[in-house]
């Protein structure tokens, strides 16, 4: 009997993994009646341009272009040898619409369905008014320009299935808020400079009161009133400057700060104003004759946590990741002229609580590091089929022996 379940499990596992491969191979370009607007893959774009720089489809003479992407995968995960078996995950389906309302007036929106229909988010719905290339007004629901991943997070752009931990849990990508501000760009020879500065609504008290039992800016996004009012009654500032050299690469520095707690209600003071801030540095470059890409970011978080509150909620966090990726094969495969096979490695680290215990002077741990080798196949630039192995170690608050997790993932992501 046991042998049957054993064989069955193996066959199931095998079919599962081949499913995505076949699926991907049989896809064909069916869209011909519509006009495709391709993304600009030249090296003259900044992360901040990612919003508009996506493949769109414009239909007939309609003034609107639509696009989107989908991400799905299967995974087998085990933590310290305990596995709940296989899962299929429909991570997200994102739709975007862009339109040029009139000269120098643009509108863009992005709608995301996460984990099936568990979460539906408006990630972006903002209008851009260009006064001068150096001065554009943006207003609406906009992406806070903190780090590089937040601005440039579309699944098909990445050769790894999971988003980096530091980019989702230290920097709470994807983070968008309602507000307004300015952005602009300046070109000079091989150089591009860009800036962005916005005021938006911010986080709420859940960043230090949540079931993760740790400081988490990501938890501070759950407030459904976030798009209607600011929890603290004060705006949050996000600013970024970025510079790119077409030969060298891009470097971005960004900072976000705001008061998160409800310190005043109905004119009565409840608490002191407590702020949450992030500083991030992001970069991307191609080395060795542009054969190997390096993409990464690091971020540091400061949260004003009351002294009399639990030390499980840290006042400082730090994290970062680096992706190293290179194509090992670039030639037509099965009729795809620009097919590529890439291999890569992601290294990532996140320390959710940087500090020392008052009681022992010992180091507070609560950190995780991960290593993710990947093999990906891109039949076309906008579609990626990814095979990842993910290994991570989580060390709890007290620094007990780590919990080790291994995850095998196969999935795809594609613009459509």
What's the closest the beta carbon of residue 409 comes to another protein, in angstroms? Answer: 11
- Residues 275 and 273: their CA atoms lie apart, in Å, by 7
- Burial class for 225, CB neighbours closer than 10 Å (0-12, 13-18, 19+): exposed
> Residues for the chain: how many in total?
416
From 134-142, 182-190, 275-283, 329-337, give the range in contact with another protein by CB under 8 A: 329-337
Number of residues that bind another protein (CB under 8 A): 60
Binding to another protein by residue 233, rule CB under 8 A? no
Binding to another protein by residue 400, rule CB under 8 A? yes
Binding to another protein by residue 22, rule CB under 8 A? no
From 186, 310, 330, 371, residue interacting with another protein (rule: CB under 8 A)? 310
Q: C-alpha angle with apex 82: 76 to 87, nearest 5 degrees?
A: 25
Helix (H) or strand (E) segment spanning residue 139: strand 135-143
Binding to another protein by residue 351, rule CB under 8 A? no
Give the sign of the dihedral formed by CA 381, CA 387, CA 389, CA 395.
positive
What's the closest the beta carbon of residue 332 comes to another protein, in angstroms? Answer: 9
From 365, 374, 376, 414, residue interacting with another protein (rule: CB under 8 A)? 365
Q: Are residues 252 and 47 in contact, defined by beta-carbon separation less than 8 angstroms?
A: yes
Q: Whose Cβ is closer to another protein: residue 113's or residue 377's? A: 377
Chain centroid to Cα 123, Å, comes to 12
What's the closest the beta carbon of residue 113 comes to another protein, in angstroms? Answer: 25
Q: C-alpha angle with apex 196: 192 to 202, nearest 5 degrees?
A: 155
Binding to another protein by residue 405, rule CB under 8 A? yes
Tokens of 88: 């299929």
What's the closest the beta carbon of residue 203 comes to another protein, in angstroms? Answer: 14
Binding to another protein by residue 375, rule CB under 8 A? yes
Helix (H) or strand (E) segment spanning residue 127: strand 119-132
DSSP assignment letter at 18: H
Give the sign of the dihedral formed by CA 158, CA 159, CA 161, CA 166.
negative
From 8-16, 135-143, 194-202, 275-283, give the range in contact with another protein by CB under 8 A: 8-16
What's the closest the beta carbon of residue 13 comes to another protein, in angstroms? Answer: 4
Chain centroid to Cα 137, Å, comes to 24
Binding to another protein by residue 21, rule CB under 8 A? yes
Q: Whose Cβ is closer to another protein: residue 238's or residue 376's? A: 376
Tokens of 77: 């995960």
Q: For the window 158-187, what string marks contact with another protein as x by the rule CB under 8 A?
A: ------------------------------
Q: Are residues 83 and 76 in contact, defined by beta-carbon separation less than 8 angstroms?
A: yes
- Residues 255 and 248: their CA atoms lie apart, in Å, by 23
Binding to another protein by residue 408, rule CB under 8 A? yes
Binding to another protein by residue 18, rule CB under 8 A? yes
Q: Whose Cβ is closer to another protein: residue 58's or residue 210's? A: 210
What is the contact surface with another protein in residues (CB under 8 A)?
A: 10, 13-14, 16-18, 21, 76-83, 205-206, 208-213, 261, 270-271, 274, 306, 308-312, 329, 331, 333-334, 341, 357, 359-360, 362, 365, 375, 377, 387, 389, 391, 396-401, 404-408, 410
């Amino acid at each position: 009997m046991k042998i049957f379940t054993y064989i069955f499990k193996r066959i199931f596992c095998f079919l599962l993994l081949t499913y995505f491969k076949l699926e991907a191979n049989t896809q064909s370009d069916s869209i011909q009646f519509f006009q495709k607007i391709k993304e600009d893959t030249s090296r003259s774009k900044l992360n901040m341009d990612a919003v508009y720089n996506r493949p769109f489809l414009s239909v007939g003479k309609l003034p609107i272009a639509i696009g989107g992407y989908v991400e799905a995968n299967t995974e087998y995960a085990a933590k310290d040898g305990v596995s709940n078996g296989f899962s299929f995950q429909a991570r997200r389906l994102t739709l975007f619409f862009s339109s040029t309302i009139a000269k120098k007036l643009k509108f863009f929106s992005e709608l995301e369905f996460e984990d099936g229909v568990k979460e539906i988010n408006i990630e972006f719905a903002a209008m851009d008014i260009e006064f001068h290339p150096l001065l554009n007004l943006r207003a609406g629901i906009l992406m806070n320009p903190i780090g590089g991943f937040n601005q440039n997070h579309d699944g098909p752009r990445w050769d790894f299935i999971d988003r980096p931990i530091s980019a989702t849990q230290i920097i709470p990508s994807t983070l968008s808020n309602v507000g307004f501000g300015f952005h602009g760009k300046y070109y000079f020879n091989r150089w591009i400079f860009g800036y962005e500065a916005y005021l938006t609504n911010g986080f709420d008290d859940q960043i230090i009161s949540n079931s993760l039992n740790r400081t988490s800016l990501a938890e501070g996004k759950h407030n459904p009133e976030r798009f209607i009012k600011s929890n603290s009654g004060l705006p949050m500032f996000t600013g970024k400057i970025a510079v790119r050299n077409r030969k060298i690469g891009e470097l971005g520095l960004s900072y976000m700060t705001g008061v998160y707690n409800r310190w005043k209600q109905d004119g009565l003071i409840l608490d002191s104003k407590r702020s949450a801030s992030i500083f991030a540095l992001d970069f991307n470059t191609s080395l060795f004759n542009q054969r190997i890409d390096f993409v990464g970011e690091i971020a540091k978080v400061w949260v004003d946590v009351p002294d009399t509150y639990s030390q499980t909620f840290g006042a400082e966090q730090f994290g970062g990741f680096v992706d190293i990726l290179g194509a090992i094969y670039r030639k037509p495969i099965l009729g795809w002229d620009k097919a590529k096979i890439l291999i890569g490695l992601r290294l990532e680290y996140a320390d959710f609580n940087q500090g020392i215990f008052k009681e022992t002077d010992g180091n507070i741990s609560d950190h995780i590091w991960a290593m993710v080798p990947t093999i990906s196949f891109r039949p076309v630039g906008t579609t990626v089929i990814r095979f990842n192995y993910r290994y991570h170690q989580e060390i709890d608050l007290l620094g007990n022996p780590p919990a080790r997790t291994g995850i095998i993932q196969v999935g795809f992501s594609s613009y459509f």
